[in-house]
Structure formats: structure tokens, C-alpha cells
Chains A and B, each alone.
Chain A
Amino acid sequence: GAVVSQHPSWVICKSGTSVKIECRSLDFQATTMFWYRQFPKQSLMLMATSNEGSKATYEQGVEKDKFLINHASLTLSTLTVTSAHPEDSSFYICSARVRDRRTYGYTFGSGTRLTVV
């Protein structure tokens, strides 16, 4: 089945530094990647939608200059948290829509636990 590989699975960084999270579609082409953030005991909240070869679309309240998204190829989308602060500590997860001739669904990366100290 369609697999999205997400790295790193966890990262601890110092306040003020930047962290890059990668999501790769392994056996399909992901023209669109959705990036979610999940705080403890809360739901997955959509941050932005990245489209291959064009600018990402950010949800209201998400700072595009802080959360840089790049989708340079059909198999790679990246999220960079710039100048991270403790309040950015969260679980970040990517998702891609998968469609074949008969049906469609969504596949998720394994998530990245970001801790900013």
C-alpha cells in the first residue's frame, strides 16, 4: 500500500534553532501533502497544505514565515520550524491523499515528536 515515510521520529532542539521534518512518499506520487499538528490530548489540526511546485496554503493562525513548507518534488515535502520556541513543542504529522482507479483514502507519516528546550 501507499506509504509515507516521515523523519525524524523525534527531535529535541534548543530554543531559537530550526528543525526540518521530511515526509517522503515511497511508492506513489504525492502531489499534495497535508501537515498537521497535534498537542497532547488534542485532535489533529491542519496547519497547511503543500502542493508540488507551488506555494503552500496555510490555515488561519499559522505563521507561514515560522513554518516553512517546501514541496519540491512529487515524493518529498518538508516542514521547517524556524526559530523554535517551547510552545512549538508538539507532534507533527504529514498525510497524503491516495487514489487509485477504484477508491481513495489517506495515508499518514509516523509523526515527529518535537521538543523545544
Chain B
Amino acid sequence: GENVEQHPSTLSVQEGDSAVIKCTYSDSASNYFPWYKQELGKRPQLIIDIRSNVGEKKDQRIAVTLNKTAKHFSLHITETQPEDSAVYFCAASDAEGSARQLTFGSGTQLTVLP
């Protein structure tokens, strides 16, 4: 099955700086890569996703890059704000195939220091 590794486990940045979180996956059949922000006791919230036919996607301060050859994808948050502090999870799935479940990375606790 799919295995998703995520680094770093914790990340502290100064407000206004950029934050980068990286993930690798093992199953070359995976074709859908979402990123979620989760606050304590809440459901994961989708912040951005990318599909395997796209190398990069941007939405305001958030961007995701995908390298299918190397099987890794990254989340980039620019101009970080204190409200960006949360746990971020990457995930992967073969969303149109038989193994359609999401496999999550281990999570990154992001702290934005004012």
C-alpha cells in the first residue's frame, strides 16, 4: 500500500517568513495530493490540492509543487501569519483507482511566532 512520509514534524517561523513542508510517497499510482490544516479537535480542512497532471498550483499565499518522478510534493506558505499556526497534513491517493482511500503523512505542527 501507499506510504507517505512528511517532514519536518515541527516548524517554527517568524511572522512574515515562509514555511515549507515536504512529503514523499511510495505508490506511483497515486494521482491526488491534498494538503489539510487541522486545528485541535476539528476535522481536517482542505487548503490546497494538486493532481498528477499538474506540477505546481498556487492559491494566494499557499502553493503546492509536485515532482512525480521523484515522488515528492511540497507545501509552501508565504507571508505567514499567527493564524496559520496549526497541524498540517499531506495525503495521497489513487483517487480514481481501486485504492481510493487517502493515506496521510505524519503531520507538521507549524507555529508562527508574532
* Chain A residues proximal to chain B, CB less than 8 Å: 32, 34, 42-46, 49, 91, 93, 95, 97, 104-106, 108-111, 113
Contact = CB atoms under 8 A, between A and B. Distances in A.
Interface of B: 32, 34, 41-44, 46, 49, 89, 93, 95-96, 100-107
B105 to A, nearest CB: 7
Contacts of B103: 46
A32 B100 contact: yes
Nearest 5 CB-CB pairs, A to B? A108-B43, A43-B104, A44-B104, A43-B106, A34-B101
B95 A95 contact: no
Contacts of A104: 32, 95-96
A43 B100 CA distance: 18
A109 B45 CA distance: 11
Nearest to A93: B43
Contacts of A34: 101-102
Contacts, number: 45
B95 A43 contact: no
Given A42-B107, A110-B43, A105 B34 contact: yes
B61 to A, nearest CB: 21
Contacts of B100: 32, 97
Which residue, of B34, B95, B105, has the highest number of chain A Cβ atoms within 10 A? B95
A35 to B, nearest CB: 10
Contacts of A93: 43-44
B42 A110 contact: yes
Nearest to A32: B100
23 contacts: A32-B100, A34-B101, A34-B102, A42-B106, A43-B89, A43-B105, A43-B107, A44-B44, A44-B89, A46-B102, A49-B101, A91-B41, A93-B43, A95-B102, A104-B32, A104-B96, A106-B46, A106-B93, A108-B44, A109-B43, A110-B42, A111-B42, A111-B43
Contacts of B42: 110-111
Contacts of B95: 97, 104
